A and B are shown apart, each in its own frame.
Chain A
Amino acid sequence: MPEAPLPTTAATAPMLEAIGVSRVFDVSRPWLQRVLAREGRLGLRAVDTVSFAIPRASTLSLVGESGCGKSTIARLSVGLLAPSGGEIRFEGQSLSVARAQAALRRRMNMIFQDPFASLNPRWRVRDIVAEPLRAFGLVHGTAERTARVAALLAQVGLAPSDGDRYPHEFSGGQRQRISIARALASEPEFLVCDEPTSALDVSVQAQILNLMRDLQERLGLTFLFISHNLAVVRHMSDRLGVMYLGRIVEIGPAETVFRTPRHPYTRLLLEAIPDLAMVGRARTPVGGEVPSPIDPPSGCAFHPRCKLANARCREEKPEQVAAGDVLVACHAVAEGRA
C-alpha cells in the first residue's frame, strides 16, 4: 500500500526513508573517443526511482542478483553517494542535511562485505575500533578509551587483549567481528550491512548472523541488510525488497514474500536457489540472464525472461501496486494474470 504521509517528527518518522531515489553513473568513454565515434554521454541508471521505509529497530533486506543496484542503495543510505534524483530521509530529515551534523552522522554506520579490505592492515585492532570514538570526540583520555574499546571487543565476542594485535592475525569471521565492533563504537542506531557474511564460511556465517541478531535485540538497532543470499535474508529480515535492474519489483513483510511470492522474478529467485530440502528433486530452471544495466530492456526490465510477458510488459514500465500487504511492480499481477 502507498505509505501515508507521516508527520516528520523524529519520534514517529521511520529511521530511514527513501522517496523516489535514483542514481545515475556516468559510464561514457573518454572525451576524445566520444568525439571521434560521434557518441553522446552514456549514463547507467543503477537505481531507478526506488522508495522504501525502514521502521525503528527492524530489518529491511534488499536482495537481487549482480547489477541490481543493491550495493548502490547501501551507499546512498549512509550518504557515501548522493542520489541523482529523489530524497533519502533519516528520521524525517533530508540525509544531506543530517550528514552535515556530527551528532546525527554518528548515529549511522556501515559494515562492509570484505573484512580483508575494510580494515587498515597497518593499524592495531584497538586503534581501528577507537577511530570512530576519536573522530566524534566521544571519549576523553586514554583510560576511558581503553575501557570503551575493551567493552566493544567483548560485545562482539573478542578478548580485550585482541586489541593489541593486527588484522592479519585474525580469521575472516574474527575480522568481521572487528568491523562490527568498529561500526558500533559511535553507538549508532542505524547500520547498513552490505553482504556482511558472503565472504565467510557457513559455520562462521552462522556465528556472525547470530551475533547481529543478538546485538539488534540488545541495542535496538535498525538494519538495512543487503544480500544476494535469500536464505540468509529470510533469517534476518522483517521486511524484504526484491530488486531487479535498479528497481524494487516486490516489497513487503518478509514472511509474506517468502510464503506467497507474487512477482515472477521473486518466484524465479526462490525457485532457483539450491536448498537442503531439494535432495533428489528435479527443477526446471528459467532461461536467460540479467541484462546489462547500460542498455536495459524496454518496459518491464524482466519481460525477456518472463513467461507472463505480453505487449504491455514490453512497452510500459510497471508501477508498484498493492497486492495484499506487499507492493508489486508487475502488469500481470495488476491485471490478475498472475
Chain B
Amino acid sequence: MPLLDVRDLTVEFPTRRGTLRALDGVSLALEPGEVLGVVGESGAGKSLTGTAIIGLLAPPGRIAGGQILLDGTRIDTLPEEAMRRLRGRRIGAIFQDPLTTLNPLLPIGRQLTETIRTHLSLSAAEARERAVHWLDEVGIPAASRRIDAYPHEFSGGQRQRVVIALALCAEPQVVIADEPTTALDVSVQAQIITLLKRLTREHGTAVMLITHDMGVIAETADRVAVMYAGRIAELGPVAEVVRQPAHPYTKGLMGSIPSLEHRVARLAQIDGAMPRLDAIPRGCAFHPRCPLAFDRCRTERPEMMPAGPTVAACWRTAAQPAQAMRAADA
C-alpha cells in the first residue's frame, strides 16, 4: 500500500465568471522513502497539488472530487483541528522562500521547540536539546550557540536549512517540498538538495518535490510526474522520462532545456503557450500545440495509459508507441 495515495483529485475555484477547474483528476502515489518529482510550467497545477495534500488550499479553492489517503486513511475530509495536528507531525512542508516561512520576530530555537512540543510530548529542555540536534543535522555551525539567533542573522542558504530542520523535526512520514531551492544561488542549491536527499534517506521520509527545474528533478527524484494544464501528462521513473519520454509535451519540454553538455544550433520549441484555466481545449489539453495530434485528440480526453516504461495520457503513444516516437523524431 502506498504511503500517500492521491486518487482522481479535482480542485475547483468558483469565480463570478464560472467555475475554474485548476486540477482535473490527478492521481499519484508516494511510496515510503521515495522522492517523487512533480514538474510543470507555471499554472500547470503542481503547487496546487501540494497545497491540496497538506490541506492549505486558499478559499475559494476547494477539493471538488477525489480522495487523498495517508497510510490508507482519508485525510481530505478531516476536520480542520485534526488536519492541523497532522500537518507537521505526519506531513511536513518546505516552501520556496525561507524568509516568509520563518517568523522574523522569534528566535529560530523558539520556532523549532514550539513545533517539536506541539507534536511530541517532550519537556522544554528535551525539546531544546532536540532542536539543537536538528540544527546540527542540517549543518548549522555552532548550533547550540546559534539557536537563539533570529532569522535575519542567517544567510539565505542557512535559513533554508533551518526551514528543513523545522519541517523534519517532528519526523513526518511525508514532506512536501515546493520549490525548495528556487530562491537560492546555484552553488547553495546543490548543498540544499544534497542535504535534503541525505536526511530524507536516513529517516525514511517520502518526499514530494515540486519544482519547475527539470535538472533538480533529474538529480534528486526516483520517479517524476509531468503536469500540464491541471492534469498529469506523464508519470514514470526519472531516467526513462528524461531519456525516452512518451508524451509529446514531455518530449518538447526536454528538448527545450538548454544543455550544459553540448551546444545545439536550435532549441526544440513548443509553439504557443499553456491554455488558461477558462479556456482549456476539449479532448487532450495539449492538442493545439501538439505536432502529432489527430482527430481523436481533439474530441476525447486521454487517460493515463502504459507507454513503454512510463505511463502517459496520450492517444498517439498509447496506440503505437514506436511509430509515434519516430514521427516525433522526424
Residues of A within 8 A of B105 (CB): none
A202 interface residue (CB < 8 Å to B): yes
**Distance of B305 from chain A, by nearest CB (Å):** 23
Q: Do residues A210 and B191 form an inter-chain contact, with CB atoms below 8 A?
A: no
Interface residues of A in 6-57 (CB under 8 A from B): none
Closest chain A residue to B197 by CB distance? A282
Interface 1/0 per residue, B175-211 and A, CB below 8 Å:
0000000000111111101100000000000000000
In the bound complex, do residue A207 and residue B259 qualify as a contact, i.e. CB atoms below 8 Å apart? no
* Shortest beta-carbon distance from A308 to chain B in Å: 16
> Quick check: is A235 within 8 A (CB to CB) of the other chain?
yes
For residue B156, CB closer than 8 A to chain A, the reply is yes
A171 at the interface (CB under 8 A from B): yes
A209 in the interface, Cβ–Cβ < 8 Å? yes
Interface stretch among B4-12, B47-55, B249-257?
B249-257
A275 touching B239, Cβ below 8 Å? no
Question: Cβ of B266 and Cβ of A213 under 8 Å apart?
Answer: yes
With both beta carbons as reference points, the residue of chain B lying nearest to A268 in the complex is identified as B187
Complex Cα spacing A269 to B260, Å? 11
Q: Which A residues are in CB contact (< 8 Å) with B254?
A: 276
Number of A-B contacts (CB under 8 A): 139
A321 interface contact, C-beta 8 A = no
Collect the chain A residues with CB atoms within 8 Å of residue B212's CB: 201-202
Residues of chain A from 271 to 305 with CB closer than 8 A to chain B in the complex: 271-281, 283-290
The answer to whether A216 has its CB under 8 Å from any CB of chain B is no
Chain A residues with Cβ under 8 A from B263's Cβ?
A: 234-235, 255
A276/B218 contact (C-beta < 8 A), A235-B264, A269-B186 known: yes
Bound: A289/B156 CA distance, A: 9
When each residue 143-172 of chain B gets 1 if its CB lies under 8 Å from chain A and 0 otherwise, what string results? 000000000000111100000000000000
Interface band, chain B: 35 or more
Give the residue name and chain of the A residue nearest to B267 (CB).
A206
Q: How far is the CA of A279 from the CA of B238 in the complex (A)?
A: 7
CB A301 to nearest CB in B, in angstroms, measures 14
Cβ-defined contact, B256 with A203, below 8 A: yes
- For window 190-208 of chain A, which residues contact chain B by CB distance below 8 Å? 201-207
Q: Are A66 and B185 in contact (CB under 8 A)?
A: yes
Cβ of B126 < 8 Å from any Cβ of A? no
Judge whether A166 is part of the interface by a CB distance below 8 angstroms.
no
> Would you call B239 and A276 a contact (CB within 8 A)?
no
Q: Is the CB of A285 within 8 A of B191?
A: yes
Q: Check A289/B260 contact, CB under 8 A, given A269-B186, A276-B214, A276-B242.
A: no
Q: Do A201 and B269 touch across chains, with their CB atoms under 8 A apart?
A: no
Query: Distance in Å from the Cβ of B156 to the closest Cβ of chain A?
Result: 7
- Picked from A205, A209, A274, A281, the residue with its CB within 8 Å of the CB of B216 is A274
* With A203-B256, A207-B269, A274-B213 as contacts: A283 and B185 at CB distance below 8 Å: no
Asked if A228 is at the interface of the complex by the 8 Å CB criterion, the answer is yes
Query: Is A116 an interface position by the 8 A CB rule?
Result: no
Minimum Cβ distance to chain B for residue A116 (Å): 12
B258 touches A235 (CB 8 A): yes
A215 an interface residue at 8 Å Cβ cutoff? no
Contact among A172, A203, A230 for B252, CB-based, below 8 A? A203
A275 close to B215 (CB less than 8 A):
yes
Q: Decide: A275 and B261 in contact? CB cutoff 8 A.
A: yes
- Chain A hits for B185, CB < 8 A: 65-66, 228, 289-290
Confirm or deny: A151 has a beta carbon within 8 angstroms of a beta carbon on chain B. Answer: no
Complex alpha-carbon distance, A270 and B41, angstroms? 25
Chain A neighbourhood of B187, CB < 8 A: 65, 268-269, 272, 285-286, 288-290
Contacts of B269 in A (CB 8 A): 203, 206-207, 210
Closest Cβ of chain A to B221, distance in Å, is 9
Q: How far does the alpha carbon of A206 sit from the alpha carbon of B214 in the complex, in Å?
A: 14
Chain B contacts for A289, CB-based, 8 A: 155-158, 185, 187-188
Most B CB within 10 A of own CB, among A202, A207, A272, A283: A202
Closest 10 A-B residue pairs measured CB to CB? A274-B215, A206-B256, A201-B41, A65-B185, A285-B190, A206-B267, A272-B190, A235-B258, A231-B258, A278-B219
What are 17 A-to-B residue pairs whose CB atoms are below 8 Å? A171-B273, A202-B253, A203-B256, A206-B257, A206-B258, A207-B270, A231-B260, A274-B213, A274-B215, A274-B220, A275-B218, A278-B218, A279-B242, A283-B190, A283-B219, A284-B194, A286-B190
Which residues of A approach B to under 8 Å, CB–CB?
65-66, 171-174, 201-207, 209-210, 213, 228-232, 234-235, 255, 258, 268-281, 283-290
7 additional A-B residue pairs with CB within 8 Å, beyond A232-B258, A278-B215: A206-B268, A234-B258, A272-B190, A274-B193, A280-B239, A285-B194, A286-B187
